[in-house]
Amino acid sequence: MKISLTKLFVQDGKSEKYEIPLTSETFSIGGQDYRVIEKHPVILGLTHEGNRVITITGSADLTMEIPCARCLTPVATPFQLEFDLQIDLNLSEEEREEKEEDSSFVEGDELDVEELVRNELIVQWPIRVLCKDDCKGICSRCGANLNIQTCDCDTTGLDPRMAAIKDIFSKFKEV
Ligand SMILES: [Zn+2]
Ligand SMILES: [Zn+2]
């Protein structure tokens, strides 16, 4: 969904409120598509500060499905996004890039709400998501999900680094 900014430019200090339903079923983050499993309309307040400078404030609540970093089980991950930024529409796309102002969500005089949300998702994207803190992951030999089943694979001596980690954990338990 796109919002035309032209009617804001009519007057300095002109302000508009919007409630925009999200249409995207997925968002592409780092080249990967993630499913949106719950969403609410995006609340936006746009203010023309004058001379084609726009302040964007607002919020968006949505839940994304992110695979567990260890076992790949999809995990419902809620996001509460807050927007508070300013864009100068006098600048060309190249000039904005030079200023490292991320405004890929503006094309011409239009604000792309989905792209604005995607940008903020990238900022808040967790480094990793786990289905539970003590997720056992998947067996590196047979691929079994070790939270659900055990397997008979001999994984000792598989990787010296893994073995070192194992040692640390067993020492931990003894204490
Ligand atoms: Zn997991
Ligand atoms: Zn196995």
* 29 domain residue, yes or no: yes
Ligand closest to CA 70: 1
pLDDT at 99: 72
Indicate if 118 and 142 belong to the same structural domain: no
Q: What is the pLDDT along the chain (175 residues), one digit of tens a residue?
A: 899 999 899 999 999 999 999 999 999 999 999 999 999 999 999 999 999 999 999 999 999 999 999 999 999 999 999 999 998 888 877 777 777 666 789 888 899 999 999 999 999 999 999 999 999 999 989 999 999 999 999 876 555 555 555 555 555 544 4
* 37 domain residue, yes or no: yes
CA of 138 to the centre of ligand 2 (A): 8
Indicate if 80 and 163 belong to the same structural domain: no
pLDDT at 101: 65
Indicate if 145 and 169 belong to the same structural domain: yes
E strand or H helix that includes residue 113: helix 113-124
Instruction: Give every CB contact of residue 154 below 8 A, 6+ residues apart in sequence.
Output: 141
How many helices (H) and strands (E) would you count in the chain?
3, 9
pLDDT at 38: 97
pLDDT at 103: 75
* 131 domain residue, yes or no: no
pLDDT at 104: 82
* 171 domain residue, yes or no: yes
CA of 36 to the centre of ligand 2 (A): 32
* 129 domain residue, yes or no: no
The two structure tokens encoding residue 67: 């695979």
Longest dimension (CA), the chain: 72
Indicate if 110 and 166 belong to the same structural domain: no
CA of 33 to the centre of ligand 2 (A): 29
CA of 126 to the centre of ligand 1 (A): 15
pLDDT at 174: 46
* 168 domain residue, yes or no: yes
Indicate if 102 and 174 belong to the same structural domain: no
* 83 domain residue, yes or no: yes
C-alpha–C-alpha distance, residues 149 and 40, integer Å:
37
Phi, psi of 104 (to 5 degrees): -65, -15
- The number of distinct structural domains making up the chain is 2
* 130 domain residue, yes or no: no
Q: State which residues form the domain around 154.
A: 136-175
